[in-house]
Amino acid sequence: MRQLELGYGVRGWQRIKRYAARIETITENAAGRLEALRFWDKHGLEAVLDFHKVSRCTLYNWRRQYLESGDKVARRSNAAPGRGQTLY
């Protein structure tokens, strides 16, 4: 008996599968940020500043983003400027 994939014959199924896999994965940077925030909750601010070597301002920004959007703080948005350089 032949076994078929769930979305066999559905147009765009592979694209949807790739998209879902990309959305669910978390980058190493994001995991580090969440680890730092959890470490902060458990051990306090001074300990996390010594251990993770990030500034106090950075930690507060990460925490604010986490509280506003939940686990989406892990997925950093594009940090590129809105308009690139132009050569005349």
- 15-49 CB burial, b ≥16 within 10 A, e <16: eeeeeeeeeeeeeeebeebbebbeebeeeeeeebb
Span 5-16, pLDDT tens digits = 777 777 888 888
Q: What is the CA radius of gyration of the chain?
A: 20
Q: Write down the pLDDT at residue 73.
A: 58
Span 24-78, pLDDT tens digits = 667 777 788 888 999 999 999 999 888 888 899 999 998 888 888 776 655 655 5
DSSP state of 79: -
Q: Write down the pLDDT at residue 77.
A: 58
